[in-house]
Chain A
Amino acid sequence: MWFPAGVERMHWVRRSLRQGRSKVNRRAVLHLALLVALVTVLSVAYLMLVGGTAARGRHIQQLQAELFRLQRENEQLEVQIAAESAIVRLRERAKSLGFVPAERVVFVP
């Protein structure tokens, strides 16, 4: 049963349902069903839209996090390269390879 028993004042509803074959009532039910379907479709569409938006937002967050990670990596690597090619290192390397300061320089015209 759709309605609780003993609800006397709801007799008109039950009567209407019993007379469900009437054209007017069938149309009303159809309209109601359409309305429910429309609301359902809109709700699902809205949910999909919000869900998609949230997923995109999350994806952007992840991309940004990756961007920042790569930037940190890049900065760190640049510092490491600079430290490896610092003047002090180059000087040590040159000495170990047997280079000495020039004592005589000739300019080529």
Chain B
Amino acid sequence: MEIPRRRLRLMSALLSALAMVIVVQLVKVQIVDHRFYKEWGREQRERSIAIADPPRGVIRDRAGHLLAGNGVRYSVEAAPVYVVDATAAATALSPRLHLPLGQVESQLRSDAPWALLAASVPKETGEEIASLGLRGITVRPQWVREYPEGSLTAYVTGFCNADGEGFYGVEGFYDDLLRPRTVEWHGPVDPSSEQIPWAVAPVVLPHPGTELVLTLDRTIQALAEEELSRSLAEFQAQGGTVIVLDARTFEILALVSLPDYDPARYGELYSTNPDLASDPAVSKQYEPGSVFKVLTVAAALDSGLVTPETTYQDTGHIEVGGVVVSNASHRAYGEQTVADILIKSLNVGAAWLSTQMGPDLFYRYALAFGIGRPTEVDLAGEVAGRMWLPDDYEHWHEADLATNAFGQGLAVTPIQMVTAIATVANDGARLRPHIVARRIEPDGQVFTYRPTVEAQVISTATARTLTDVMVRVVEEGVPQAQVPGYRVAGKTGTAQIPIPGGYDPQGTIVSFVGFGPVPDPQVVVLVKLERPRTSTWASETAARSFARLMGRLFIVLGVPPNDGLEVAGL
């Protein structure tokens, strides 16, 4: 009897010990490591899945016309393990996807857990395949960015890639706002990560990106594009830019550059000419040439140094800092007025003015006009231009004071130049140029852009005096820029193209910047043409383009002529 009793005790002890181990383990699992195991279990049965795939915010012009919207395409995917009849499925899919039968069938028979049959098929094809109800075949909708106006607004909109990232233009600048907010649902899911509706999930409404309404007018944009295209062909120029700005609000009404590209086919762009993607109006800097004389004369007039009637002796050349500056015609004009500096586009006169002012005053005004710094326009990729200042001992030379006065030795972007001239048209007040008029949030809230004065660069009186001189520039100096029935003001710019070691003798960049009608300017227009062949002078090329475009703009904007009520010869 001793042995069984001993065995019983031993067994009891062992069982007790085992029970103790179990109890300790239970305490450990249930109490000590409670949080860990609870979290582990939750992770296994719950997931965060995106249940709403809202679209990117759309972009419209000022009248509500769609410039960038969202189309739908489908990706066709397969889970080969669930495909019942690979041959039948491949026979059904192959002609619809325009893929070889063998390729589709081998994908459907593969051991891979997932196979992408087609990344992007048209909506109709996707819906047709979905309606076939093929087991193991998933048709997934996806957004694709569409640009209904095509290349017409390419540089304004920029483009958006397949991952929904915006580049260049408005797409790039406002990428964060345009991106939709993905709504995720967290809860129990089945093995295929599908939502299990154990509870009434909160109602999720799509939360698309912010809608942007631009200041751009697509009709004016089309006019500008048409005129630029005509000018490139007529003057055999390699490229060009046109900007139309509202003279009172600095709203961009049109912004065109050629050659351009189709933003919906941005992929082709990168394989052919990636440089074409950046917007020349904000990213490409050039020497402005004589257009800059307007700013030089503005500074001299506003500082009280001269009046339009002040005279100087034009000997045909002037030496500043060891560099001899000559007039473009290499002629000496004798006694000339300050107004003549603009009307006859005299380099010597401009250099004389800047040296009279001195570097401090001259560069203070140039900076106030926005030269050498970004305008902060709401378009991606803006560059600052280049203007060396006297405190930059490494780069600035005394001769720069003379050459800068007539737009040489510095670089500007078209948007900087048109903004500077618009400042004169706007009674001396410089505003920030902008292209977004208002944004509409998904909840319906509307935020409207209110233009603010960046700087009162010159007085109203100076601006009006200068405007009168610029009208004389058109009437007496560049009649090619005259618009029948309207008084317009403007200035030509013919600039050499800097190359290492000097200037390119072969070509020029010609431009004309002007506004009208005077005395109540509505629009400011910049026309810039690169390397025209029929003539290297702005007066024979860009000025003519300006006049034609301005004439049509006045009609479209409903601006009556200065004299009479009839406009002919359009």
Contacts and interface: CB of A to CB of B under 8 A. Distances in A.
Interface string B185-214: 000000000010111110111100000000
Contact of B52 (A64, A82, A106): A64
Contact of B146 (A58, A79, A102, A107): A79
B204 to A, nearest CB: 6
Given A60-B203, A61-B201, A104-B567, A68 B53 contact: yes
Interface in A58-109: 58, 60-61, 64, 67-68, 71-73, 75-76, 78-79, 81-83, 85-88, 91, 101-109
Nearest to B56: A75
Contacts, number: 110
B97 to A, nearest CB: 20
Contact of A82 (B141, B148, B552): B148
Contact of B152 (A71, A73, A88, A104): A88
B206 A57 contact: no
Contacts of B66: 78-79, 81-82
A53 interface: yes
Interface stretch (B99-107, B333-341, B558-566): B558-566
Contact of B570 (A79, A86, A105, A108): A105
B560 A107 contact: yes
Contacts of A31: none
Contacts of B568: 103-105
Nearest to B123: A76
B77 interface: no
Interface string A18-33: 0000000000000000
Contacts of B88: none
Nearest to B141: A72
A60 B200 contact: yes
Given A61-B201, A103-B570, A79 B52 contact: no
Contacts of B143: 72, 75
Given A57-B198, A82-B148, A88-B150, A72 B72 contact: yes
Contacts of B218: 87
A78 B69 contact: yes
B65 interface: yes
A42 interface: no
- Size bracket, chain B contacts: 35 or more
A82 B568 CA distance: 34
Given A57-B200, A61-B195, A79-B148, A67 B555 contact: no
Given A87-B152, A102-B555, A64 B200 contact: no
Given A53-B200, A83-B148, A76 B570 contact: no
A56 interface: yes
B52 A68 contact: yes
B198 A75 contact: no
A41 interface: no
B569 interface: yes
A54 interface: yes
Contacts of A61: 195, 197, 201
A76 B51 contact: no
Nearest to A75: B70
B54 interface: yes
B148 A53 contact: no
Contact of A86 (B51, B149, B200, B558): B149
Contacts of A53: 197-200
A53 B188 CA distance: 14
Interface in B45-74: 51-55, 58, 65-66, 69-72
Nearest to B567: A105
B149 A88 contact: yes
B534 interface: no
Contacts of B565: 106-109
B69 A82 contact: yes
B219 interface: yes
Given A102-B555, A109-B565, A75 B149 contact: no
Contacts of B55: 71-72, 75
Contacts of B149: 82, 86-88
Given A56-B200, A60-B201, A107 B222 contact: no
Contacts of B58: 78
A106 B566 contact: yes
A82 B218 CA distance: 12
Contact of A104 (B70, B71, B150, B570): B570
A23 B169 CA distance: 92
A102 to B, nearest CB: 6
Contact of B197 (A58, A81, A83): A58
Contacts of B54: 71
Given A72-B141, A79-B146, A88-B150, A64 B203 contact: yes
Contacts of B72: 72-73, 75-76
Interface string B60-99: 0000011001111000000000000000000000000000
B197 A104 contact: no
Interface of B: 51-55, 58, 65-66, 69-72, 123, 141, 143, 146, 148-150, 152, 195, 197-201, 203-206, 218-219, 221-222, 552, 555, 558, 560-561, 565-570
24 contacts: A53-B198, A53-B199, A54-B198, A55-B197, A56-B197, A60-B197, A60-B203, A61-B201, A64-B51, A67-B206, A68-B206, A71-B54, A72-B141, A72-B143, A75-B55, A78-B66, A79-B66, A79-B70, A79-B71, A86-B148, A88-B152, A105-B566, A105-B570, A107-B565
Given A54-B197, A75-B69, A88-B150, 20 more contacts: A53-B197, A56-B200, A57-B198, A60-B200, A61-B201, A71-B206, A72-B55, A75-B72, A75-B143, A76-B72, A79-B146, A81-B66, A85-B65, A101-B552, A102-B555, A103-B568, A103-B570, A105-B566, A107-B561, A109-B565
Chain A to chain B: the 4 pairs with minimum beta-carbon distance, closest first? A57-B197, A82-B148, A82-B66, A79-B69
